[in-house]
Amino acid sequence: MTQNQFREAEGPYFGDYGGRWMPESLVAALDEVERVFREAKADPEFVDEFQRLCRDYTGRPSLLTEVPRFAAEAGSARIFLKREDLNHTGSHKINNVLGQALIAKRLGKTRLIAETGAGQHGVATATAAALMGMECVVYMGAEDTRRQALNVARMRLLGADVVPVEHGAKTLKDAINEALRDWVATVENTHYVLGTVAGPHPFPEMVRWFHQVIGEEARAQILQQEGRLPDAVVACVGGGSNALGIFHAFLDDEDVALYGFEAGGEGLESGRHASAITLGRSGVLHGARSYLMQDEDGQTVDSHSISAGLDYPSVGPEHAYLADAGRVSYEPVTDVECMNAFERLCRTEGIIPAIESAHALAGATRLARSWGAEGEDRIIIVSLSGRGDKDVATAAEWFKLLPGQENDPARTVAGDEDENAGQAPETGVQS
């Protein structure tokens, strides 16, 4: 591997992937975003402003926390969490949103639009719009607005207009379609704040750039705390923005293994998953060529994951490139593995992770176990991309923690006739 082989990659193409598979109507706007982005990142005033917001508004740098009790149950390796969950608004998403909102101001745009799945990116965009006095419209699949009703309320509290999308599968990809339809008609005054490293050039490159701070901090922190680089860095991958953000600083550190964990849903054999790299094939969707879950006719296949934030049938084009190049290993993690790791982090460390991030925790567990005793003193950094407050309802349902469900303590105490009902709920460590 030559020096800086991967870190220097810029759009529009990452190997065979990326590009602009977009209506001609939007090309002028994309060119303008690219020009202003390149000017901005070379402008010390812009960089200062972005860093000031990251520090004084988001709360950067985020912590790097070792989690020994969590690690103890996963083998002999040491595990550190990069705490993007502690950012303002609760996830890494705010990094990109603040950057793009500043770009929008430079473009003279007064209105921000965004898509959202679980609501994290929508909340972050609504937050940035409130902070900068801009109008904001968030498109969200109608299914997701029902599943994430509290996040809809959060966005509305922040002054955003949330539009439920009733077309197609009514989830994240359909929200992106609708945001693109809006943008084609409103591009004169509107910037589309795409929430991940997908979409047409320059979005994959620009969104990555705003998230690179995650890996830059983590690399400096581990060197400062432990005096050496980690053996592995792991992250969950939906579109893949937190993963590229943390990977990027390590891409040219040959001895640091990188792992991306995709949503395996109910298992690859079930067909209900969101493992675009593992099982997809090259195709074009939402402006980029990348790995895509599609049928024999080229129709997009609906993805599935317990995590709305990973429930996307494609992946950022730079991930497709890094997968083909063999620099990053991508593996699926099922809903069950993910929720076991989710629960373990809650119980052992007092940290409730986002279900998205729990895929990375499950992946780190798998990796540490695969090392066995050889893993002693090895270091894994996990991107804890978000906090789990938004996922409490989903987790409560999964672990049956609500009144009336089978593990409800009240019901057990009341003396169910079933003999097994008196036993402790089996929600202990299973992974």
Residue 39 beta carbon to other proteins: minimum distance, rounded to whole angstroms: 18
Cβ 190 to other proteins, closest distance in Å?
11
Q: Which is nearer to other proteins, 158 or 198 (CB)?
A: 198
Buried-state track 240-270, b at ≥16 Cβ within 10 A, e below 16? bbbbbbbbbbbbbeeebbbbbbbbbbeeeee
Nearest C-alpha neighbor of 232 from the set 90, 79, 358: 79
Compare residues 284 and 368 and give the one whose CB is closer to other proteins: 284
- Say if residues 358 and 290 touch (Cβ distance below 8 Å): no
Residue 140: CB minimum distance to other proteins, A: 17
Minimum distance of other proteins from residue 317's CB (angstroms) = 13
Among the listed residues 91, 290, 307, 385, the single catalytic one is: 385
**Letter string b/e over residues 3-30, b meaning 16 or more CB atoms within 10 A of that residue's CB:** eeebeebebbbbeebbbbebeeebeebb
Contact between 390 and 118 under an 8 Å Cβ cutoff? The reply is yes
115 flagged as catalytic? yes
Long-range own/partner contacts, residues 366-371 (CB < 8 A, 24 or more apart): 366/331, 366/333, 366/337, 367/77, 367/232, 367/234, 367/259, 368/71, 368/74, 368/75, 368/76, 368/77, 368/79, 369/74, 369/75, 371/75, 371/76, 371/77
Which residue's CB is nearer to other proteins, number 170 or number 390? 170
Q: Which is nearer to other proteins, 22 or 206 (CB)?
A: 22
The reply to whether 93 belongs to the active site is: yes
**Active-site pick, 34, 91, 109, 115:** 115
Residues lying near other proteins in the complex (CB under 8 A) are found at: 19-25, 27-29, 31, 167-168, 173-174, 177, 180-181, 184-188, 282-286, 292, 294, 296-300
Taking alpha carbons only, the member of 350, 262, 348 closest to residue 306 is 262
End-to-end CA distance of the chain: 36
Q: Are strands 281-285 and 287-292 parallel, antiparallel or unpaired?
A: antiparallel
> In the complex, what is the shortest distance from the CB of residue 384 to other proteins, in angstroms, rounded to a whole number?
32
41 is catalytic: no
Which of 93, 109, 170, 173 is the catalytic position? 93
Q: What is the C-alpha to C-alpha distance for residues 70 and 345, in angstroms, rounded to an integer?
A: 6
Short-list 266, 264, 314, CA closest to 18: 314
Minimal distance, residue 421 CB to other proteins, in Å = 44
**Contact (CB, 8 A) for 413 and 385:** no
Strand partners, 138: 114, 162
Q: What is the DSSP letter of 274?
A: B
**CB-wise, 186 or 278, nearer to other proteins?**
186
Residue 14 C-beta: closest distance to other proteins, Å: 14
CA–CA dist 268, 122 (Å, integer)? 29
DSSP 233: E
Query: What is the spatial distance between Cα 10 and Cα 107, in angstroms, rounded to a whole number?
Result: 21
Cβ proximity of 259 and 232 under 8 Å: yes
Q: How far apart are CA 197 and CA 9, in angstroms?
A: 13
Closer by beta carbon to other proteins, 53 or else 165: 165
Residue with Cβ nearer other proteins (84 or 174): 174
The residue among 123 and 277 lying less far from other proteins, judged by its C-beta, is 277
Shortest CB 265 distance to other proteins, Å: 19
Q: Which residues are catalytic?
A: 93, 115, 385
